[in-house]
Amino acid sequence: MHPAIDDQTVTPPLLSVFILSASALAYEILLIRLFSIVHWHHFAFMVISIALLGYGVSGSLITVFRRWLLENYDRVFIANTLLFGLSSIACFIIVQQLPFNTLEILWDRSQWQRLLLSYLLLALPFFFVANAIALTIMRFHQKIALVYGIDLIGAGIGTVLVMALLQIFSPDAILRILAISGITAGFFALSSFSSRQKQLAAALISLCMLAIFVTPQEWVALRLSEYKGLAQTLLIKDVSLRSSHTSPISQTDVVQSPFIPFRHAPGLSLQSPAGPPEQLAVFRDGDEMTTIDHVTDESSADTGPGEYFDYMSSALPYHVHSSPKNTLILASATGAQILQAHFYNIPKIDAVESDKQLSLLITKQYADYFGWQKLRHKVTIHNISARGFAASEKQYDLVVLGPSGASTGGSAGVHALSASYDYTVEALQSYLKLLAPEGLLSLTLWTSTPARGNLKLFETAVAAMKNAGINAPENNIAWIRSWNTATLLLKNTALTDAEINKVRDFSTSRSFDLAWLPGISPLEVNSYQVLQEPVFYLAARSSLKGSDGGFIGDDFIQEYKYDIQAATDNRPYFNNFFKWSSIKELLALPGQAGISMIGVGYPTLLISLAQASAATLILILLPLMFLKKDKKKSSEKRRNIIIYFLAIGLAFLFIEIAFIQKFTLILSQPLYAVAVTLCAFLIFSGLGSLYVQNRMRAESEYTITVLLRHSVTLIGLITVSYIVVLPLISSSIMALSEIMRIISAFVLAAPLAFVMGMPFPLGMARLQKTRPDLMPWAWGINGCASVLSAILAVLLAIEIGFNGVMLSAVVLYVAAWRSALSPHY
């Protein structure tokens, strides 16, 4: 059997490649869902990096054992399909047994080892997939672009497959389906086997499928981190799980606790004469707890069980506005804010909630418990993102955005790497546009120690008002603080004396602290919930520095130990407060206090980058020990190969991840954005690769050079155009229906993805002519670059924004093109 096939009439196992690639990409997205539930979103997002580590290892292995693997291609291909299926379920089971806790990673170095072990285990299934694909490319080198194109298109279809499966099955059940799907790819690669070999291979494939079928369910059942809210709640006496619901975007669990009742009332004053009624707790992905109030017949009165709503800090806008006729509630979740608006007899309530599962809980499954029949005549629920609804031209007397669900990991910084487009400068500008002439925008957040999120929100609000043309925002803002929440009130015009007095009266009667008010005196702040320093007031002074009102601020924000600069759509990491300049001081604090105050999100990313960099260096350099060194100037050639494939690997993921985040804004859900972006980029990149295959039939060096130059030029032009155009059209797209938003995302991704699919097969085709033995090494370099890219893209986005990430990708593509021009490539 020859190591490679030059006969162009011989067809590669394209259907097997297609199925295997689809299964692998579907598995990758499934892992994101699984680890969002088991751990937190920031850990899950690094799955993209984990997956590509397997591709890097694959390239190194094939470089060393290339001849033997190609000589036994048929058997090796089948073996890798089987090993993918078996390892995809086995490795997840093993990883769940590891006592990894992301919250302890800063002070327990054993967690670093467990993180690395998790990486290696989860990379194993992708290693087997990469082996199969790479060997097919090497074996059928005359059809590199064809095989690569089918690989990408199959992967793109895999994203559609897993999103469809998540609509029907639970995530742990889909594990079996994808494992079997990957093994099935082996059936379509048996054509070159003899009759007896086919029977043996088919029997082995069937046996592997049976092994997956009989795997005990308790082995694959999800095991939540013991630090997640749901896991902790289920430890309470007599707590019962009432219901569980799953969808592509979340797992929703409803819990009842009759022995120790839930008492969820964010910002409730200690002066309140009443507490909340009986409640059911609702957890999304095992965390972010909200509640469903039990509304009885007596609750419909103006006072009684609902009276506690009047003593929450979020009640402020209902006291300040004289007679609101309508209210818009953004992110209504499980309805607490709907009930609060109903308590004040608001005639018309629009509630926006992007997660339809949460809305269905209060309108269908627990409608009687919630008292939906009393509300349905005045409440309209819109299942769209807050930003999407804000693109409409409606106007409201009150626009309310309350606190998110209570998260056990929030104070530890687990959300630092999660983009949030609800609290950016552009978001607040869009909310302000929804206000009627005397309307009020109310924003309530949980407080933390030390203060961070609320201070960043105030800075963001001031920036939004200035961008909206409000030159003296200090006259348009009121800010109060309870013991665990803070409520920010914004108005497009200056607050009147009557409104200012209402804020003072409301706060005093409920023992809430004033943080900012037009004409406020330093003596009025920090009176009830006393902080060591009046940081809310000091942050407000600093944010308002330089306004046209002549207010003189200070450098509090610049000197603060956390990053509380305004969040923007370009840098939407509202929950990231990491500041390099504070590291030394925080680490100098006694014990582990400073470490805990840093937060786990950003440092976890740095640890992952260090581990990925070490792995990349080893995987790139190790194969050089086994390569021939007898050719003149081989070192320069290898350097150019490293530059080329490292650059395009980094650049591809830079742009892809930037688009995932930009499409998160348009599509409102991170997993939808991941699926749509990957599907669009992979399918159209695959089509771009097929176009290259068609153009390269003559295999001329000139054709390769021209195609590479044109593709890099177009990538640069389209990317720069999108940086300018996307912010201008995003609001219009967000106002469309869900299907139209998805179609719009595909249309936007198509031209860029098409040309991005060309540089890799062009580089491999050129390498095939000069050093075919280096092709698997180049494959591995590209995979290793992608490992780094998935982590670097997030780090760069936090520091320089997604536009900076995209421009960096353009520079990398140009660097790759320049290296390809070298006569030693």
Task: State how far the Cα of 403 lies from the Cα of 266, in Å rounded to an integer.
Answer: 8
Q: How confident is the model at residue 153 (pLDDT cuts 50, 70, 90)?
A: very high
Average pLDDT value for residue range 254-272: 92
Element (H, E) at 206: helix 195-213
Say what percent of the chain tops pLDDT 90. Answer: 47
Determine the pLDDT at residue 558: 83
Q: How confident is the model at residue 600 (pLDDT cuts 50, 70, 90)?
A: low
- The pLDDT tens digits of the residues spanning 514-523 come to 999 999 999 9
User: Does the bond joining 450 to the residue before it have cis omega, within 30 degrees of 0?
Assistant: yes
Element (H, E) at 111: helix 110-139
Lookup: tokens for 704? 């390769």
Q: Which of 527, 493, 532, 492 is nearest to 507 (CA)?
A: 527
Rg of the chain over all Cα atoms, to the nearest angstrom? 29
Strand ranges across the sheet with 348-352 = 379-382, 348-352, 326-330, 396-401, 435-446, 485-490, 477-481, 513-516
Q: Which of 314, 318, 296, 313 is nearest to 305 (CA)?
A: 296
- The pLDDT tens digits of the residues spanning 196-226 come to 777 888 888 889 999 998 999 889 888 888 8
Q: Does residue 531 have a pLDDT over 70?
A: yes
Lookup: tokens for 588? 């100098």
Task: State how far the Cα of 133 lies from the Cα of 353, in Å rounded to an integer.
Answer: 42
In angstroms, the first-to-last Cα distance of the chain is 30
> How deeply is 489 buried, as exposed, middle or buried, from its count of CB atoms within 10 A (0-12, 13-18, 19+)?
buried
Q: Does residue 513 have a pLDDT over 80?
A: yes
Task: State how far the Cα of 253 lies from the Cα of 244, in Å rounded to an integer.
Answer: 4
Q: Which of 446, 26, 32 is nearest to 251 (CA)?
A: 32
Q: Tokens 């990096």, residue?
A: 49
Tell me how far the alpha carbon of residue 468 is from its chain's centroid.
Answer: 29
Q: Does residue 302 have a pLDDT over 60?
A: no
Classify residue 363 by its DSSP letter: I
> What's the longest Cα–Cα distance across the chain?
92
- The pLDDT tens digits of the residues spanning 383-425 come to 988 988 998 889 999 999 988 765 544 444 456 667 889 999 9
Q: Does residue 40 have a pLDDT over 80?
A: no
Q: Which of 345, 353, 310 is nearest to 327 (CA)?
A: 345
Determine the pLDDT at residue 550: 44
Classify residue 249 by its DSSP letter: S
Task: State how far the Cα of 461 lies from the Cα of 477, in Å rounded to an integer.
Answer: 9
Do residues 254 and 241 touch, judged by C-beta distance below 8 A?
A: yes
Q: Does residue 8 have a pLDDT over 60?
A: no
Task: Determine how β-strand 279-284 pairs with β-strand 348-352.
Answer: unpaired
Q: How confident is the model at residue 737 (pLDDT cuts 50, 70, 90)?
A: confident
Q: Does residue 232 have a pLDDT over 80?
A: yes
Task: State how far the Cα of 726 lies from the Cα of 653, in Å rounded to an integer.
Answer: 19
Q: Which residues pair with 445 in a beta bridge?
A: 486
Q: Tokens 């090993």, residue?
A: 83
Say what percent of the chain tops pLDDT 70. Answer: 88
Determine the pLDDT at residue 310: 95
Phi (first) and psi of residue 284, to 5 degrees: -105, 120
Task: State how far the Cα of 628 lies from the Cα of 612, in Å rounded to an integer.
Answer: 27
Task: State how far the Cα of 628 lies from the Cα of 540, in Å rounded to an integer.
Answer: 66
Domain ranges, ordered by start, for the chain:
14-222+599-820, 306-578
State the angle between helix axes of 195-213 and 171-184 in degrees (0 to 180), rounded to the nearest 10.
170
**449-463 burial, b for 16+ CB within 10 Å, e for fewer?**
eebbbbbbbbbbbbb
Task: State how far the Cα of 501 lies from the Cα of 493, in Å rounded to an integer.
Answer: 16
Average pLDDT value for residue range 262-279: 92
Classify residue 198 by its DSSP letter: H
Q: What is the DSSP string of 257-281?
A: -SSS-----TTB-TT-S----SEEE
Average pLDDT value for residue range 244-259: 90
Q: Which of 191, 165, 159, 153 is nearest to 74 (CA)?
A: 191
Phi (first) and psi of residue 225, to 5 degrees: -55, 135
Task: Determine how β-strand 287-293 pairs with β-strand 279-284.
Answer: antiparallel
Tell me how far the alpha carbon of residue 505 is from its chain's centroid.
Answer: 42
Task: State how far the Cα of 609 lies from the Cα of 788, in Å rounded to an integer.
Answer: 7
Higher pLDDT, 625 or 300: 625
CB-CB neighbours of 128 under 10 Å: 24
Do residues 563 and 578 touch, judged by C-beta distance below 8 A?
A: yes
Phi (first) and psi of residue 514, to 5 degrees: -80, 135
- Look up the pTM and report it: 0.87
Do residues 235 and 229 touch, judged by C-beta distance below 8 A?
A: no
Q: Which of 476, 466, 461 is nearest to 517 (CA)?
A: 476
Residue 479 in 3-state DSSP?
strand
Mean pLDDT (the chain, rounded): 86
CB-CB neighbours of 623 under 10 Å: 21
Average pLDDT value for residue range 693-697: 75
Task: State how far the Cα of 716 lies from the Cα of 729, in Å rounded to an integer.
Answer: 20
Average pLDDT value for residue range 629-638: 63
Least confident piece of the model among 573-587, 779-793, 805-819? 573-587
Determine the pLDDT at residue 119: 79
Q: Which of 594, 531, 526 is nearest to 562 (CA)?
A: 594
44-49-50 Cα angle (round to 5):
75
Tell me how far the alpha carbon of residue 250 is from its chain's centroid.
Answer: 13
Average pLDDT value for residue range 286-304: 72
Q: Does residue 634 have a pLDDT over 70?
A: no
Determine the pLDDT at residue 194: 65
Lookup: tokens for 530? 């006393």
Average pLDDT value for residue range 95-102: 80
Task: Determine how β-strand 477-481 pairs with β-strand 435-446.
Answer: unpaired
CA distances from 744 to 350, 667, 725 (A): 26, 10, 14
> Using DSSP, how many helices (H) and how many strands (E) does the chain show?
30, 12
- The pLDDT tens digits of the residues spanning 52-92 come to 778 888 888 888 888 899 988 888 999 999 999 999 999 99
Determine the pLDDT at residue 746: 92
Higher pLDDT, 370 or 629: 370
CA distances from 385 to 390, 741, 825 (A): 8, 12, 49
CA distances from 386 to 295, 350, 420, 659, 668 (A): 26, 12, 11, 20, 8
Task: State how far the Cα of 312 lies from the Cα of 635, in Å rounded to an integer.
Answer: 69
Determine the pLDDT at residue 51: 63
618-619-621 Cα angle (round to 5):
65
Average pLDDT value for residue range 352-372: 93
Do residues 175 and 92 touch, judged by C-beta distance below 8 A?
A: yes
Q: Which of 601-605, 697-701, 820-824 tops mean pLDDT? A: 601-605
What residues have CB less than 8 Å from 240, skipping those under 6 apart? Answer: 255, 256, 257
Do residues 137 and 69 touch, judged by C-beta distance below 8 A?
A: no
Architecture of domain 306-578: 3-Layer(aba) Sandwich (3.40)
Element (H, E) at 725: helix 701-734
Q: Does residue 17 have a pLDDT over 70?
A: yes
Q: Does residue 682 have a pLDDT over 80?
A: yes
Lookup: tokens for 141? 């080198």
Q: How confident is the model at residue 508 (pLDDT cuts 50, 70, 90)?
A: very high
Q: Does residue 551 have a pLDDT over 60?
A: no
Task: State how far the Cα of 363 lies from the Cα of 635, in Å rounded to an integer.
Answer: 68
Architecture of domain 14-222+599-820: Up-down Bundle (1.20)
Residues written for the chain: 825
Determine the pLDDT at residue 629: 59
Q: What is the DSSP string of 523-552?
A: GGBSSSS--SS-HHHHHHHHHTTT-TT---
Do residues 58 and 130 touch, judged by C-beta distance below 8 A?
A: yes
Lookup: tokens for 271? 């002066």
- The pLDDT tens digits of the residues spanning 436-463 come to 999 999 999 999 888 999 999 999 999 9
Q: Which of 136, 18, 13, 20 is nearest to 70 (CA)?
A: 136
For residue 473, the number of C-alpha atoms closer than 13 Å in the C-beta half-sphere is 27
